[in-house]
Amino acid sequence: MSVGEEDIKLCFELFDKTNSGTITAEDAATGVRTLGKAPSGEEIEELLGGASSVDFAKFQELFNASPVADFDETMDAFSTFDSHSAGYMSLTELLHIMKNLGEGLSEDVLAKVKDAAEPDSDGQVNYRHFVEKMVKDL
């Protein structure tokens, strides 16, 4: 998926609900991640320099400076939690990890993760399939 300036502008405008020309730093981080980038919280803070609001130019700069999610690194991270090397983990464990490790995810995002994970009838998630969905077209 190639993200062009028009896509970046559209994403910014979706978060700029009041047409003020600025969005919150939190919305900027969410927007950049929505467009397929994978900056950490520290990278966001460093790039924004503590700013609480972001204009389009800064949003575009943030997008351009942010790293893309890497499939192999993400698979390695998930395989760490696969104690049986089966390629599966329980949905409960996946949600627990995503909520409690690293920066943690909000309940809203966790609900979306739950939908995207597509657990089987035993509540197991094929994390390779999940990671492919999360980083596809990047």
Dihedral over Cα of 92, 82, 126, 112: its sign: positive
Say yes or no to pLDDT of 74 above 90: no
Confidence of residue 138 (pLDDT cuts 50, 70, 90): very low
Across 38-59, average pLDDT: 91
Helix ranges, 16-126 (H) = 25-34, 41-48, 56-65, 71-79, 91-100, 107-117
Residue 59 has pLDDT above 90, yes or no: yes
Domains in the chain: ranges and CATH = 5-65 (1.10.238.10), 71-135 (1.10.238.10)
How much is the mean pLDDT over the chain?
Answer: 86
Task: Identify the pLDDT of residue 53.
Answer: 94
Q: pTM (2 decimals)?
A: 0.58
Query: What distance in Å separates the CA atoms of residue 118 and residue 96, rounded to the nearest whole number?
Result: 16
Summarize the confidence of residues 48-54 as an average pLDDT. 92
Asked if residue 125 lies in contact with residue 119, where contact means CB atoms within 8 angstroms, the answer is: yes
Percent of the chain with pLDDT strictly greater than 90? 38
With 0-12 / 13-18 / 19 or more C-beta atoms within 10 angstroms meaning exposed / middle / buried, residue 105 is: middle
- pLDDT at 28 (0 to 100): 94
Q: 79-96: per-residue pLDDT in tens?
A: 888 888 889 999 998 888
Residue 125 above 50 pLDDT? Answer: yes
Is the pLDDT at 111 greater than 70? The verdict is yes
For 14-23, give one letter per residue: b (16+ CB within 10 A) or e: ebbeeeeebb
- Residue 54 bridge partners (DSSP): 23
Cα separation, 133 vs 126, in Å, equals 11
In this prediction, residue 136 carries a pLDDT of: 65
Q: Is the pLDDT of residue 137 over 60?
A: no
Instruction: Please list, in sequence order, all residues whose beta carbon lies within 8 angstroms of the beta carbon of residue 60, skipping any fewer than 6 positions away.
Output: 5, 8, 12
